[in-house]
Structure 1
C-alpha cells in the first residue's frame, strides 16, 4: 500500500477511534460535556525528535478533543516526509483521552558508494546528484540520481556508460545506496556534417560551434550532448547575424560507431531567405535628440540584418540614457518582417523613465579595510545622479586597489522609482608580503632577496615597503611609504630612500639618495605627479686607459632633480590589462640649486585590445625619450638612455643597446625610440604564452659618428615567452631573436624578470 493510502486509512481509523468516547456516553442535550486531551505521546520514532513531530500537530494537552482535527494532524506529520506510516491511537485517560501518534520512520541513507568509476572521481559524481548522506531514502530520488549520472557521463563523451543503482538494507533499517558504473570508452567526433547550408558555408557553421572534430592530439573532439545543444543556439545566432531571421536547425543527431569509438554529428539546417534592414525608426524619446540616438544604432537601411548588432544597438542606447542619469530607461526593439520584400523594419521604442538618484551605498565584506578607503574610490555619493558608467568605474577602481580577491557592484530598487541602492561587496585578500629567498635575473645574475611590504597598512590604504637585493652585479636597498589620500583628499604623497651599487661592464655606480612624491588626479582617468629627488652618485672602477668620456665622469656626482609627469590610464586592470590604454609625458629638470645640470623628457603610450576569440590580447607600446645637458654640463652616464633586456629590446642583454665612443665603450645616449607589439594567449593556471616584435634604438648627439637620429639604424627583433602572475608577483620569461644580426653579435638572448611589463 502506498504512503498516501496508508495516510487515508489512518485518518479513517482516527475518525472511528475518536468517536468511541462519545459513543460511550448516554445521549444528552446539546450542552454535552467536552472531552479534554489529558496526554499526548509519540511512539516509533528513532531519529526524528518528538518535539519536531508534536510541533506539527494542532492537538494540545488541556484542549478539547476533536476527531477531525486528529485527522489533520496525521496529514501534517506525513508532510514532514520522514515517515512511511502514521497512525493515532485514542484511549480513555484520567477522565479525558490520551492521543498516541504511532509512526514508522522511512530508512535513512547511511552511505552512498560509487563503484567502477575510473575516469571521474567520486566527489565530482556526488556533486551531480541530489541524494545526500543522512537524507530520507526515496527510491524515486535514487533512480533520478542514476539518470543524472548517465547524463553527466554522456556530456563528457561516455556514450557507452551504464549506471545501475543498488540499495542494501542495513540491520537497523537504514540503507546504503551503491551506483555501479560501467564507464566505457570516451567517444570522439570523427566528422561533423552540415546539411542544408547554402547561404553560409559548412566551414562557417562549424567555426561557430564549440563542438569540434578530432584533429590528432590538438583537439580531442569529444561528444558532449549539452555542448551540442548549445551549438544549435549558436548556429541559429550565426544565421540571424547574416540576415537569415527564419533559419532553424531541423535536427541534430549523434551517430555512434561503437566498434571504432567514433561518432558523426549530423546537423540539418533550414536557412530560409536572407533579410535586409528596411526602415529604422525611434519613438518615445524626449530627453535626447533623435540624431544622437541614431548615431548609436549599428543597423542602417539596406544593411544585412544582424541580431547581434540589434542587441548592441539596444545596449548603446541604454548606455547613452544611463550617462545622462536615466538608468531605468527601457529600450524595446520591435522587428517587423516584410516577408514579400525580405525586409526587417526596426522600431526602437524608448521608455525614458525618470532621472535616477543614489539613495544609499552599502559596503560589505571589508573585514580589514576601513570603509572610507572604499567610499573614496566610488565616483558617486548618496543623492548623486546615478549612471551605470559610474557603477562600472567604481568596480574598476576598487579592483585596481589590489586589496580584494573579488569586487561585486550591484544595484537594487530604492524606496521609489527614481532611486537605487548601490551594494558593494568585497572579499579581502592578503596585502602583506614577507619573503626571504633567492632568484636569478638575466641582468643581475644570482640574487638574494628580502621583501617586506604592506599595500594596505592597518587597513588605511597606506603602502609601506622594504626591499633588499644582493647579487653578483647588484646590491640595493629601498624603503618607501605612500599615503594615497593625504588629509582625506585625493592627493597622493610619499617618499623613498635608496642605496644602490651596480656593477656594469665598464664601471661601477653607487647611488645614495631619496625622493618626495606628490600626485593628484585630473578628472576620472588622468593624473599629474611631481617628484623631488636628491642623490649622490659615485662612478668608480674605471679603466684609466679606456674611454675618455668615462674617465671624465669618474668620481662623485650630486643630483638635485624636479620631475613632473602627466598621465592618463583607462586600462580595465592595471595588474593584468586586457583592454584600454595608457599615455604619459614626463619632464625632469636637474640642477635645482646644485649638482648635475640636465633636462630629460620621456613620452610613452600603451594600448590593449582584446580579440573576440579565446581571450587573446594584442598590445602595443611606444616610448620616446630625449635629454640634454645645460650650462655646458653633459648628461651623466647613469642618467642616459640604454636599451636591451626585459621590457625593452628583448633580443639584447640588459643595457647592451647604446652608442659607443671611439674605444668601443657603451656610454649611453641622449635620445631613444622603442616600439613593441605583443600577442598574449592564455594557457592554464594563469600562465600566458606571448609572441612579440620589438624595434628601437638609442642615439647620442655628442658622440662622434652618431650626431643625428637615424631611423634606418633601428634594431628589429622577434621572440616568444611566458607570463605568469605568481603569488610572488608577475614573472616574465622571454627569448628574443635579432632580425638584423650584425657581426660579432649573438643570434638571440634569454631574459627573465619579475615585475609589471607595461
Structure 2
C-alpha cells in the first residue's frame, strides 16, 4: 500500500493530537509542568504557545506539543486537563555528562572533542542518538585522512543518574596504509620515472615519515592526475586522456596499489594563431602577449598564460570582466592545431568605493595611502595588484585579501573590498647570533613598526659582537609628506675592534646623529639623502701598524669630526625580499665627508643583482658590486673606511676581509690585510629547494661561483705572493650553501673551496652565520 505525500502532514498532526487526548476546549486558569528535572519551568512556559486566560482546543494543543517537541529537550510530551488547569507532562531527553575516548593515539582527546563539538556533540548538550553515527563517521574520516584505512570506531552509551549519559568511543587505529605501487599503463613516449616525478604521492622513502607522501588521499591523487595531464599537454599531446584509475587495498588494510591507465595520443604542432572579437587595445600590442607561436609544439601552459595576459591587459584599462577564450581548430589527420583568441572585453567599469575591514589597530589612512587604485577611478588590475604588494611589504598584516564584487543594480561599477588580518608589529627581542667572523653576537631590540597605528617606525637596538658593537635609536615617518617622502632621525654609537680580523689592530668609537629623507621617484625607484654629524675616536695600540699611526700624524690626530652627506638610489623589482625568484635590485650609494672638518673623503658603491626563475623551483642569481673611494684636498683617505672582500657575504672560502694587498707589522712581524680604495665583487648563484621538502618558504640550497678583488693600497714588498693591482688581487671560489629562515633568525651555512689560492692567503672551508648580521 502506497502512502501519498499529501497525507503526511495530517498524520503528524494526528500524532500530536493523540498526545493531547482529544481535549475539549476550555479556558486555561493555570498551567502546571510535571516531569522536569534539569529544565526550568520558565523555559517550558517560554516555548508553550498557550497562556493563562486563553482558550485551548485540539488544534492549539497540537501546536503546543509540536512547539515543545521542537525544542529538542523532550522525548515525550502530554497535555491533560484538571479542572481549569492545563497539566504539561514531559519526559526529558538525557544530557551528555561526559565524552571519553579509548585507543586514540594519533589524535589527542581534547582535539577530538573540539571536532565533535563542531557537529553538535559535546558535554552538557542534550543527547541525540542520531548524532552517534555522524560522530563515528567524522572520527573515522579523520583517521582515513592519515592513511589509517583499518581504523574502527564504536560508540558506547552508558546511562547515569539524574537522567544523564556517558558516551565512550572505542577506537582501534590500526596501522597506516602505505602506497606500495603506482603503476602507469599506456605510456610509450615517456618513461615511468619521468611521469612519476609529476606525482606528489609516492611509495615509501626515507623522508616519508616527515612528508607523508606515501599515504593515499583521493584529493592528492586527483591533483597528481591533473599535473600529469599538464605535463603531456605542455609537451604537445593535445589528445592525452586518463582512461581510468584503480585504487585497491589489501584485505589487511595495510597496502594500497594505484593503477593509472592513460592514452597519450599524438603530438600536435601549432599552425596558426589568430585574434577575433572587439579589439579595444591595439591588436599588435595584444599579440606581443601571446607566447604560443605558429610552428611551435602545442603547449597548454603558454596558451593559458597568453589568455590570462590579454585579460590582465584589458583589466588595466578598466575592463574588469574581460573574457578571452582560445578556440582550437584541430586537424587530427595532420596532427596540427590552430587557435583563435576571441576577445570579449565586456563593459568598462570604475571603482565606486574602497571598503576596509580587519584593521582594528592600524588607522585607515595607513592602508589607503598604499592603495594605487583610487575611488571613482577606472578599474585597473595592475594598480590593485600593486596595492596588495605594497600592503604586504608593510609587514603589518598576516594576510591581505582583496575582492572586487560588482555593485548590485549596476553594470559599470565595482567595489574594492580590502580585508586584512593584523599581526603584532611591536616586539622586544633578546637574542644571540653566531658568525664565523663576529663570533657570538648578543643583542636586544625594542621595535615598533606601526607605532600607535600610524605606520611610523620606532626602534632601539643594542648588538654586541667580537668586532662590532652598536647602540642605536631611530624614528621613521614613511609619509612625512602626503606624496610619500619619508623622514627619519638616528642616534647611534658604534664600536669596532679589529683585533680578531685579518687586518691591522685598531679600535674605533663612533658617535653620531643624523636626519635622512627618502623620496619615491616611482613605484620601483627611491632616492635617499641624509646628513650625519659623526665623531670618531681611533685607539691604536703599540703593535698597531705604522700606516695607521702615520694617518693620525698626517691629519688632525686620532679624534675626527665629520659632517657626512649620504645619498643613494634604489631600484627594486624583486617579487620577494626574503627569497626572490625574479626581479632586479640596483643600488647606487655614496657618502662624502664635507669639507671644513677633519675628514675629507668620498666613497661610491654600486650593486646590481638580477634574479631569474629558470624553472618553478630553481632561481638563478647574478650579482655585481663596484666600490671606489678617495680623499680630496690634503687629507689622507681614512684607513677605517677602506674596502675589504672575503667572507660569507662577498667571496666565500676566504676569511672575512682577507682578500687584497697585505702588509707586515714591523713590531710583531705578523702580516695583515690593508684593504683598498677600489673593490669589485661578482657572484653567480643557483638556488633550488631542499630535496623532499616541497614548496618550503624557509629553506633553500644553492651552488655558487664567487670572484672578487680589492686594490688601491700599496702592500708590503717583502710578502711572498702579495698583490697590488686588480688582476693580481683577484680571487675565485666555488661551493654550496644552505639558507634557513629559522625562528631564531636567518641562518646561512656555506661549504666553499678557493679556486686560485695564493701563498699567504687566509682561507676557510666552512663558514656560517646565525642571526640578523647578514
Task: Tell me, yes or no, whether TM beats 0.5.
Answer: yes
Q: Are residues 1:755 and 2:772 paired?
A: yes
| Match in the other structure for 2:428 | 434
| Match in the other structure for 1:621 | 623
SS at 2:427 equivalent: strand
Q: Distance in 2 between matches of 1:357 and 1:170?
A: 66
1:177 Cα deviation from its structure 2 partner: 2.8
Q: Distance in 2 between matches of 1:314 and 1:346?
A: 11
Q: Are residues 1:166 and 2:156 paired?
A: yes
Which of the numbers 324, 340, 344 marks the counterpart of 2:317? 324
Which of the numbers 570, 573, 580 marks the counterpart of 2:573? 570
Q: How does 1:293-692 map to 2 (within 5 A)?
A: 293-301=286-294, 303-335=296-328, 342=335, 346-414=339-407, 416-435=410-429, 439-505=433-499, 506=504, 507-541=506-540, 543=542, 546-548=545-547, 551-553=550-552, 555-575=558-578, 577-609=580-612, 619-631=621-633, 633-661=635-663, 664-676=671-683, 677=685, 679=687, 681=689, 687-692=698-703
Preserved CA contact (<8 Å) 1:368 1:459: yes
1:212 Cα deviation from its structure 2 partner: 0.6
Q: Distance in 1 between matches of 2:47 and 2:345?
A: 52
1:642 Cα deviation from its structure 2 partner: 0.8
Q: Distance in 2 between matches of 1:540 and 1:207?
A: 62
Which of the numbers 75, 81, 92 marks the counterpart of 1:84? 75
Preserved CA contact (<8 Å) 2:674 2:713: no
| Match in the other structure for 2:216 | 224
Which of the numbers 12, 17, 22 marks the counterpart of 1:17? 22
Preserved CA contact (<8 Å) 2:433 2:771: no
Which of the numbers 754, 757, 766 marks the counterpart of 1:738? 754
Q: Distance in 2 between matches of 1:182 and 1:5?
A: 47
| Match in the other structure for 1:700 | 711
Q: Are residues 1:709 and 2:726 paired?
A: yes
| Match in the other structure for 1:267 | 260
Q: Deviations over 1:548-584 (max 9, x none)?
A: 4663345234433323211111233435545433112
Task: After superposing the two structures, state which structure 1 stretch, 39-48 or 209-218, moved more.
Answer: 39-48
Q: Deviations over 1:471-527 (max 9, x none)?
A: 544443222222211144411112223222212142222323333211110111111
SS at 2:389 equivalent: helix
1:164 Cα deviation from its structure 2 partner: 2.4
Q: Deviations over 1:158-211 (max 9, x none)?
A: 233222232223333433332222222223333221112224432232112111
Which of the numbers 192, 195, 205 marks the counterpart of 1:202? 192
1:216 Cα deviation from its structure 2 partner: 4.1
Q: Deviations over 1:233-260 (max 9, x none)?
A: 433444444434451241222343749x
Q: Distance in 1 between matches of 2:91 and 2:706?
A: 83
1:330 Cα deviation from its structure 2 partner: 2.9
Change in CA separation of 1:243 and 1:694 when aligned onto 2, cut-off 3 Å: closer
1:319 Cα deviation from its structure 2 partner: 1.0
Q: Distance in 2 between matches of 1:316 and 1:483?
A: 37
Preserved CA contact (<8 Å) 2:659 2:729: no
| Match in the other structure for 2:719 | none
Preserved CA contact (<8 Å) 1:680 1:688: no
| Match in the other structure for 2:741 | 724
SS at 1:316 equivalent: helix
Change in CA separation of 1:694 and 1:239 when aligned onto 2, cut-off 3 Å: closer
Change in CA separation of 1:201 and 1:435 when aligned onto 2, cut-off 3 Å: closer
Q: Distance in 1 between matches of 2:10 and 2:594?
A: 100
Q: Distance in 2 between matches of 1:612 and 1:428?
A: 33
| Match in the other structure for 1:27 | none
Q: Are residues 1:152 and 2:142 paired?
A: yes
Q: How does 1:127-138 map to 2 (within 5 A)?
A: 130=119, 132-133=121-122, 134-138=124-128
Q: Are residues 1:111 and 2:98 paired?
A: yes
Change in CA separation of 1:323 and 1:631 when aligned onto 2, cut-off 3 Å: same
Superposed CA RMSD in Å reads: 3.6
1:739 Cα deviation from its structure 2 partner: 3.7
Which of the numbers 169, 180, 188 marks the counterpart of 1:179? 169
Q: Distance in 1 between matches of 2:276 and 2:632?
A: 66
Q: Distance in 2 between matches of 1:175 and 1:546?
A: 88
Q: Deviations over 1:634-673 (max 9, x none)?
A: 4321222112334223323332223224764422112222
Q: Distance in 2 between matches of 1:285 and 1:432?
A: 52
SS at 1:482 equivalent: strand
Q: Deviations over 1:415-438 (max 9, x none)?
A: 533222222233333333334565
SS at 1:17 equivalent: coil
Q: Deviations over 1:420-471 (max 9, x none)?
A: 2222233333333334565544333344534333222233222223323445
Change in CA separation of 1:110 and 1:467 when aligned onto 2, cut-off 3 Å: same
1:610 Cα deviation from its structure 2 partner: 5.4
Corresponding pairs, count: 734
Q: Distance in 2 between matches of 1:85 and 1:276?
A: 74
SS at 1:581 equivalent: strand
Q: Distance in 2 between matches of 1:637 and 1:144?
A: 78
Q: Deviations over 1:600-645 (max 9, x none)?
A: 22111234455766x6655443322222333354432122211233
Preserved CA contact (<8 Å) 2:710 2:730: no
Structure 1: stretches of 5+ with no match in the other structure: 22-34
TM-score (norm 2): 0.84
Q: Deviations over 1:106-165 (max 9, x none)?
A: 444333322112233334544655352044444443223323333432332223322223
Preserved CA contact (<8 Å) 1:396 1:573: no
Q: Distance in 2 between matches of 1:640 and 1:567?
A: 23
Q: Deviations over 1:278-325 (max 9, x none)?
A: 654444324223333333334344544444434323321221111112
Preserved CA contact (<8 Å) 2:660 2:675: yes
Task: After superposing the two structures, state which structure 1 stretch, 465-474 or 453-462, moved more.
Answer: 465-474
Q: How does 1:33-112 map to 2 (within 5 A)?
A: 43-44=34-35, 46=37, 59=50, 65=56, 67-89=58-80, 91=81, 94=84, 102-112=89-99
Which of the numbers 141, 157, 164 marks the counterpart of 2:131? 141
Q: Are residues 1:213 and 2:203 paired?
A: yes
1:356 Cα deviation from its structure 2 partner: 2.5
Preserved CA contact (<8 Å) 2:589 2:605: yes
SS at 2:138 equivalent: helix
TM-score (norm 1): 0.86
Task: After superposing the two structures, state which structure 1 stretch, 148-157 or 177-186, moved more.
Answer: 148-157
Q: Distance in 2 between matches of 1:276 and 1:69?
A: 78
Change in CA separation of 1:396 and 1:737 when aligned onto 2, cut-off 3 Å: same
Structure 2: stretches of 5+ with no match in the other structure: 1-7, 666-670, 716-721
Q: Distance in 2 between matches of 1:275 and 1:110?
A: 67
Change in CA separation of 1:265 and 1:175 when aligned onto 2, cut-off 3 Å: same
Change in CA separation of 1:249 and 1:743 when aligned onto 2, cut-off 3 Å: farther
Change in CA separation of 1:276 and 1:429 when aligned onto 2, cut-off 3 Å: same
